[in-house]
Amino acid sequence: MKHWTVQCGYAGYFANTVAVEAETLEAALEKAIETANDDADGWRSLDHCGPTFVYAAAEGADADPWDAASALPIPDRFAEGEEPPVVTLTGGSTGAVEVTRGRARLRFVESEGTVVAEAADPPPPTTGKPLVIVRRRPDGAPHVTVAEGRARVRVLDEIVRD
């Protein structure tokens, strides 16, 4: 059996809640970051961490996983960002949408308008999380249904391009 040296990690979350005055949201956010960074004593652990991921790996019990000569490529599903979700569209924009391995924001652009929705695998918990279902009516217009709560859904009249 082979030996491996693997450096694992996780993201720890800290917060510093600050109050600032500003004319716009953007200015407030910028000022809040500056204020929080200047207040070292205000930072507190949220006692929450992200999933464990792999920083680096190398073959051998005494190998240096950061040495360029011995470092191995880390597959996406073990890396910090995790493997990206796979979005499967069945039947074109009027068909079904399935998301595997994560969460994805979906944007449907049709001549009637644009619909933006999120889908996830596993689906988000139903408590406190609305489920937005977008289907195409026979006349081609979007039909939006919200289950398990309330949601604000915006269907744009014009096509929006990235």
pLDDT average per 10 residues of sequence, the chain (162 residues): 89 88 89 91 84 85 82 78 63 64 67 67 56 70 70 58 48
How do strand 142-147 and strand 113-121 relate by DSSP bridges? Answer: unpaired
Placement of tokens 């069945």 in the chain: 90
Residue 47, sorted as left (phi over 0), alpha (psi -120 to 50) or beta, turns out to be: left
pLDDT for 160: 45
How do strand 142-147 and strand 12-15 relate by DSSP bridges? Answer: unpaired
Q: What type of residue sits at position 110? A: E
pLDDT for 95: 63
Stated pTM of the model: 0.39
pLDDT for 35: 92
